[in-house]
Amino acid sequence: MSKVDMSRLNWKKSGAPVSAVPPVLGPTPPLQAEQGEDDRSKDAFFAQVGEIAEAMIARHGSEFAIGTLVLAAKFVAEGRPLVNRGAGAGGAANAAKPV
């Protein structure tokens, strides 16, 4: 069996006869009657992250946005707090700092 992804081949450029072009068959995604509450909640959070990322890019550039999102992902993976919820929280001086 070939490991070539047949759907990515350009058969018109290859000069292969039309009869040699295999039909593109693949799994069809199941139809969803309606989106569940969990999916709607995830979509809303993803939209919020997107808005924040766009704001960071506009103000400080894409490298800052990428670095911030990667650092946040690292904190989540390590189970570290992303914000300091102690006394006087809300200022940048109280934010958790990377080690």
Closest CA relative to residue 96, chosen from 57, 66, 68: 68
Rounded to a whole number of angstroms, the distance between the first and last alpha carbons of the chain is 50
Structural domain of 78 = 37-83
Evaluate whether residue 75 is within a structural domain: yes
Evaluate whether residue 76 is within a structural domain: yes
> For the packed helices 62-78 and 37-60, what is the interaxial angle rounded to 10 degrees?
140
pTM given for the model: 0.51
Evaluate whether residue 32 is within a structural domain: no
The pLDDT tens digits for 67-87 are 999 999 999 999 999 998 886
Tokens of 11: 């058969």
Q: How many domains does the chain have?
A: 1
Evaluate whether residue 30 is within a structural domain: no
The pLDDT tens digits for 19-52 are 555 566 667 666 655 789 999 999 999 999 999 9
Evaluate whether residue 65 is within a structural domain: yes
Tokens of 46: 């993803």
